[in-house]
Amino acid sequence: MPVLVNYDRCTFKTTCFAANVCPKGTLRVDATLGKVVVDPTVCGDCPGPCLNFCDPVALKYAPDLLELDINQRELDGLLTKEAAALERTELVKKRKEAEALAKAEAERAAHAPMTLTSKNFVQEVRDATVPVLIDFWAEWCQPCKQIAPIVEQLAQEYAGQVKFAKVNIDDEPQIAGQLRIQSIPTLMIFFQGQVADMIVGAVGKEQLRSRLQRVVEAVAQLQAQQTQAAPSPATQPPPAPQPKNVAPVRLMRGPNSAPPRRPGQ
């Protein structure tokens, strides 16, 4: 952590043991100035052996350079004790806000739709314990760009209940062909490796949420029934709920269909 030197306390004469043991060499004796100097911007992360080895307790550290600056200005008489306390309070507030923002960003990133490829598609979809919504898209598809923010918002809303993923059909034409994707955007919801619903086109957020919620509720009901029935390990669970107008699709069947065509082809 960054440190400063309180020269009112420093009793330096010819040597400074604290400077000698500084692992970064940033606390040192300046022979020209005849005193101990420190560059706090290059201090290490250690709370410092330097503090422990300064007998007159002339070194003071802070969590960061901003608070160290407050300490230095207070020490130099540029801030009163009360003004320094107010600045520290405001600094702590900003630090907590920054930490909360970083935590929120990390959570959003953790729940953002993952990218599926031919290498991880089967495992991620088949082994998921929750429904998996897959957005099939391409860079040239404008409707795909319209629905993408909706998918990302629902990914945060249904975090822990639904896994969200994306497949770029230009990068993964084999997957699109195997699942018989004829146009994009197409959203497919899988559960236990089977298609539970399919949505074609850039639908609105409420419509997509409604379709997704139906699958979530059906899965919850199915899992409750399985728990009550307590089937033996040899018993196969019933298939995932299937919408009336969607035919079952096996994961990664043979490439019998071509990928979606671009407009004008």
The predicted-structure confidence for 219-249, as pLDDT tens digits, reads as follows: 999 888 878 776 555 555 555 455 444 444 4
Per-residue pLDDT tens over the stretch 57-84: 677 778 888 888 888 888 888 999 999 9
Domain ranges of the chain: 3-107, 114-229
Question: Would the pLDDT of 257 be above 80?
Answer: no
- pLDDT tens-digit profile of 174-208? 999 999 999 999 999 999 889 999 999 999 999 99
**Active-site residue, 144 included:** yes
Q: Tell me if 3-107 shares its fold with 114-229.
A: no
The CATH topology of domain 3-107 is Alpha-Beta Plaits (3.30.70)
Query: Above pLDDT 90, what percent of the chain?
Result: 44
Are the CB atoms for 128 and 98 separated by under 8 Å? no
**pLDDT tier at 35 (50, 70, 90 boundaries)?**
confident
Average pLDDT score over the chain: 82
pTM: 0.57
DSSP string, 67-123: HHHHHHHHHTTSS-HHHHHHHHHHHHHHHHHHHHHHHHHHHHHHHSPEEP-TTTHHH
Q: Quick one: how far is CA 34 from the chain centroid?
A: 50
Q: Are 6 and 75 in contact (CB under 8 A)?
A: yes
Asked if pLDDT for residue 262 goes beyond 60, the answer is: no
Residue 180 has what pLDDT?
92
- 42 pLDDT higher than 80: no
Phi/psi at 144 (5° precision): -60, -40
141 catalytic per annotation = yes
Token pair recorded at residue 211: 């379709």
Burial zone of 260 (CB within 10 Å; 0-12 exposed, 13-18 middle, 19+ buried): buried
Chosen CATH of 114-229 out of 3.40.30.10, 3.90.45.10, 3.40.50.300, 3.90.1150.10: 3.40.30.10
pLDDT at 132 over 50: yes
How high is the pLDDT of residue 55? 72
* pLDDT score, position 22: 78
| For range 80-91, the mean pLDDT | 92
User: Mean pLDDT, to the nearest integer, of 204-219?
Assistant: 95
More confident residue, 109 or 184: 184
